A and B are shown apart, each in its own frame.
Chain A
Amino acid sequence: MSARVHDLVREFGGRRVLDRLDLTIGDGEFVALLGRSGSGKSTLLRLLAGLDGSADAGVSGTVEVPGSVAVAFQEPRLLPWRSVRENVSLGLHRDLGADTPAGVADTALAEVGLGARADAWPLTLSGGEAQRASLARALVREPGLLLLDEPFGALDALTRITMHRLVLDLWQRHRPGVLLVTHDVDEALLLADRVLVLTDGRIGAEHRPGPRPRDPDTLSALRRTVLDELGVAADAA
Chain B
Amino acid sequence: MSSTTLARTAGDRDVAATRATTPRPTRRRPDLRRWISPVTIVLLWQLASSTGVLAEDELASPVRVVTAAIDVTVSGELPEGLLVSLGRVALGLVLGLTVGVTLGLVSGLSRWGGHLVDPPVQMLRTLPHLGLVPLFILWFGVGELPKVLLVALGVLFPMYLNVHAGVRGVDPKLLEAASVSGFTPAERLRHVVLPGAMPSTLTGLRLALGIAWLSIIVAETTAADAGLGYMIMNAREFLRTDVIVVGLAVYALLGLTTDALVRRLERTVLAWRPAGPAGADR
Contacts and interface: CB of A to CB of B under 8 A. Distances in A.
Interface of A: 49-51, 69-71, 73, 75, 77-82, 86, 90-93, 121-124, 137, 141
B181 A141 contact: yes
Given A121-B272, A141-B181, A77 B192 contact: no
A86 B178 CA distance: 12
19 contacts: A50-B179, A51-B179, A71-B177, A73-B176, A77-B174, A77-B176, A77-B177, A79-B178, A79-B191, A79-B192, A81-B195, A81-B198, A90-B181, A90-B187, A91-B183, A91-B187, A123-B274, A124-B274, A141-B182
A144 B191 CA distance: 26
A92 B178 CA distance: 11
A141 B198 CA distance: 29
A49 B182 CA distance: 11
Given A90-B191, A123-B272, A124-B274, A77 B173 contact: yes
B136 to A, nearest CB: 40
B129 interface: no
A49 B180 contact: yes
Interface in B21-37: 23
A73 B177 contact: yes
B115 interface: no
Interface in B82-138: none
A21 B48 CA distance: 88
Contacts of A75: 173
B191 A123 contact: no
B191 A82 contact: yes
Contacts of A81: 195-196, 198, 270, 272
Contacts of A124: 19, 23, 274
Nearest to A82: B191
B264 interface: no
Contacts of B23: 124
B273 interface: yes
Contacts of A69: 180
B176 A51 contact: yes
Interface residues on B, range: 20 to 34
DSSP majority for the B interface?
Answer: helix
Contacts of B181: 70, 90-92, 137, 141
Given A80-B272, A90-B187, A51 B180 contact: yes
Contacts of A90: 181, 183, 187, 191
Contacts of B187: 90-91
A125 B181 CA distance: 20
Interface centre among B177, B180, B272 (most CB of A within 10 A): B180
Question: Closest 10 interchain pairs by CB?
Answer: A77-B177, A91-B181, A81-B195, A91-B183, A91-B182, A121-B272, A81-B272, A71-B180, A123-B274, A80-B272
B195 A73 contact: no
Interface string B182-194: 1110010001100
Given A70-B181, A90-B183, A121-B272, 19 more contacts: A50-B180, A73-B176, A73-B177, A75-B173, A77-B173, A77-B177, A82-B191, A82-B195, A86-B191, A90-B181, A91-B181, A91-B182, A91-B184, A91-B187, A92-B181, A93-B182, A121-B271, A121-B274, A141-B181
Interface in B165-181: 173-174, 176-181
Nearest to A88: B181
Nearest to A75: B173
A222 B180 CA distance: 34
Nearest to B275: A124
Contacts of B191: 79, 82, 86, 90
Nearest to B178: A91
A77 B173 CA distance: 7
A121 B187 CA distance: 19
A123 B19 CA distance: 11
A71 B177 CA distance: 8
A163 B154 CA distance: 53
Contacts of B183: 90-91
A143 to B, nearest CB: 10
B23 to A, nearest CB: 8
Nearest to A76: B177
A122 B195 CA distance: 14
A227 B99 CA distance: 61
B272 A73 contact: no
Contacts of B270: 81
Interface in B219-261: none
A34 B174 CA distance: 26
Nearest to B181: A91
